[in-house]
Amino acid sequence: MNTLRAAVYGLIVGDALGLPVEFKERGSFCIEGMTGFGTYHQPPGTWSDDSSMTLATCDSIREKGRLDLADLRRRFENWLFHGAYCAGEQLFDYGQTTYEALTSGHGLSDFWSNGNGSLMRIIPLAFLDVNDSDIDVVSALTHAHALSKEACRIYISVARGLLGGRELPYILKEVEVSNHFFRLKELARMPESQISSSGFVVHTLQASLWCLLQTDSFSEAVLKAVNLGDDSDTTGAVTGALAGIIYGYDAIPDDWVKTIRNKELIEHCLF
């Protein structure tokens, strides 16, 4: 069954697979399973800010029974400033735009604040009865530029199509996008050399959907994503959430799930 659990665990597994090689150049490594240490010297199964902010979002929805922006912001602040929703005891990774937004109390709306920090945490909204305006304001808690908000809307639209049993190529054929995202219509024909895995939100969305189009299983999709390098944990997370929806929870390798740290917290946050 395609459930929130499949999406969230898919996201966290993708995050944890990619974390040890974050910022590494494509082709300089090969991830074939769950490893540890690397970039942040964290044990295997450790997740990063992608998963922490997703869990904070889930936990807010679970407790409030609806979308509550003030509560959601408080949970993000509790994560950033007090280490809540972390795999271990300490916070070790956060995006600069997210930090500035939560410190200042408002999302950043300049073009250069279009990292993937809202896209990486938005998947729980696919399981709520929310509209595009709701998606926009959740993104804008940290990332308030039109590009970031559009990326989140596209991602949720794709997720909902997948939850409805539709296939990704047909969803992408019909989804409405601005000129900034026109390459989504051409992804299936694009070679890896034309796929960027930087932290720019447009690149992350393109790379993640490309990985799903090029593969036929959960494992293949997330491994292709993290092996693109650069912002490997977020590409893995964004890919993993949709791969979880497509292939289901049982398709996530059991040994990867067993390696994930702090599963008690994950289970607590699901709604």
In a structure prediction context, what are the per-residue pLDDT tens digits for the chain, which is 271 residues long? 469 999 999 999 999 999 999 999 999 999 999 999 999 999 999 999 999 999 999 999 999 999 999 999 999 999 999 999 999 988 999 999 999 999 999 999 999 999 999 999 999 999 999 999 999 999 999 999 999 999 999 999 999 999 999 999 999 999 999 999 999 999 999 999 999 999 999 999 999 999 999 999 999 999 999 999 999 999 999 999 999 999 999 999 999 999 999 999 999 999 9
> CB count, 10 Å around CB of 185?
12
Token pair 């997330």 is found at 222
Helices and strands, counts by H and E, the chain? 12, 0
Radius of gyration of the chain (CA): 17
Look at residues 96, 49, 4 and name the one whose alpha carbon lies nearest to residue 233. 49
Q: Which structural domain, as residue segments, surrounds residue 230?
A: 4-269
CATH number at residue 177: 1.10.4080.10
Q: How far is 144 from 262, CA to CA, in rounded Å? A: 31
Please tell me the total count of domains within the chain: 1
Q: Would you call 179 exposed, middle or buried from its count of C-beta atoms within 10 A (0-12, 13-18, 19+)?
A: exposed
Binding-site positions read 48-50, 231, 233-234
Residues 6+ apart with CB under 8 A from 141: 69, 72, 73, 76, 101, 107, 118
Question: Are the CB atoms for 171 and 158 separated by under 8 Å?
Answer: yes
Question: Are the CB atoms for 6 and 248 separated by under 8 Å?
Answer: yes
Q: How far is 230 from 196, CA to CA, in rounded Å? A: 9
pTM: 0.98
Binding-site positions for Mg(2+) read 48-50, 231, 233-234
